[in-house]
Structure 1
């Protein structure tokens, strides 16, 4: 069977992607800082796809040691990871000049470092067998800067840059790399705000796109996919 690792899988886009892969019969390895969230989500997934295996670990992937622990846990329990979805991220609405002292490091540790570390861990295994698919969930902010979310924009630019390097490094080895670049998407980042879901991208739209890309022929790679609200950014 096919195996997938997804960071930030209990909420938002990660959750939708996990459910979509489960419906495809793909085994999952997921982590969260909240054990009850993991237990509840695992039960939900298995009610949808009882034939798959779901591995869970309590971990905070904004901490390098926890990222490595999660990678080793997945490798030990699941074996070869066919699909890596670097989804975890944090959004902070703040101008750089007004931002807190720890904001830059926190967002780098959440939005960039997990993708970098998991790539280094699993990328070598993918190269050794000549297959695999890495999805990096970036942001439209990586193309069109959002000045009122300055550090977030910088880290998403960096993640898209990392994706481009991954793509070139993996290309000779037959490993696929795709940047998913969503615009305004209805996730927990919008909690407490008045928004119209019909004017936004839904997490399920991103999941559907990833499934379609993954199921393309062996010789096809989608380098970057931009998905934005039809009426423009919210």
Structure 2
């Protein structure tokens, strides 16, 4: 049985991805800062597929050592990590000139650093095994920045660039890397919105795209997928 590790998996896109891989029959390692949320989703995942293992770990992914601890414990519990989904992220609505003093480091340490560290941690074993798949949840803002979320766009562009480098480093070793660039997606970030759900991408749409990539033949790699609302960005 294969194993998948997902950062920030208790809500939104990460949650949808976790259920999608559970239905595929993969064991899961998931993390969140909230222990109650983790307990709840663990129960729901095991109800969805009682045949899998679900390892949960409380971690603040903006802290490097907590990211490394999560990786090490997940590997110890499940073994070789076949699929790495770098999902954790934070969105902050502000222009760069209006950012608070810690905005840049806070977003870099959440949107980029965990993916970098987990790539360094698991990438070597994937390379040596000539097996594995890495998904990086970037954003449309990676390639179409907006001044209303300036630093977010900068950090997601960095993650997108990191994903491209991962793919180039790994392609000769047979390890797949895909960047996912969702547009406006109906997650907790839009809580209380007056917009209809039809104006958004669904987290399930993102998860479905990932599973489609995952199930392709061993010779195929999807470099990136852009998913936007059919009526345009919000």
Q: Partner of 2:171: helix, strand, or coil?
A: helix
Q: How many residues align?
A: 234
CA distance in structure 2 between the aligned counterparts of 1:146 and 1:170, rounded to whole angstroms: 31
Q: Hey, what does 2:174 align to over in structure 1?
A: 174
Structure 2 residues without counterparts, runs of 5 or longer: none
CA distance in structure 2 between the aligned counterparts of 1:71 and 1:194, rounded to whole angstroms: 39
Q: Hey, what does 2:91 align to over in structure 1?
A: 91
TM-score by length of 1: 0.99
User: How far off is 1:32 after superposition?
Assistant: 0.8
Q: Hey, what does 2:34 align to over in structure 1?
A: 34
Q: Hey, what does 1:45 align to over in structure 2?
A: 45
CA-to-aligned-CA distance 1:134-165 (integer Å, 9 cap, x gap): 00000000111111100000000000000010
1:51-62 → structure 2 map (5 Å cutoff): 51-62=51-62
1:121-140 → structure 2 map (5 Å cutoff): 121-140=121-140
Q: Hey, what does 2:102 align to over in structure 1?
A: 102
Q: Hey, what does 2:160 align to over in structure 1?
A: 160
Q: Partner of 2:56: helix, strand, or coil?
A: strand
Q: Hey, what does 1:120 align to over in structure 2?
A: 120
CA distance in structure 2 between the aligned counterparts of 1:94 and 1:192, rounded to whole angstroms: 19
Q: Hey, what does 1:143 align to over in structure 2?
A: 143
Q: Hey, what does 2:18 align to over in structure 1?
A: 18
User: How far off is 1:199 after superposition?
Assistant: 1.2
Q: Pairwise CA RMSD of aligned residues? A: 0.6
CA-to-aligned-CA distance 1:5-51 (integer Å, 9 cap, x gap): 00010000000000000011110000111111100100000001000
CA distance in structure 1 between the aligned counterparts of 2:194 and 2:125, rounded to whole angstroms: 45
CA-to-aligned-CA distance 1:79-138 (integer Å, 9 cap, x gap): 100000000000000010011000000000000000000000000010010010000000
Structure 1 residues without counterparts, runs of 5 or longer: none
TM-score by length of 2: 0.99
Moved over 3 A (4+): none
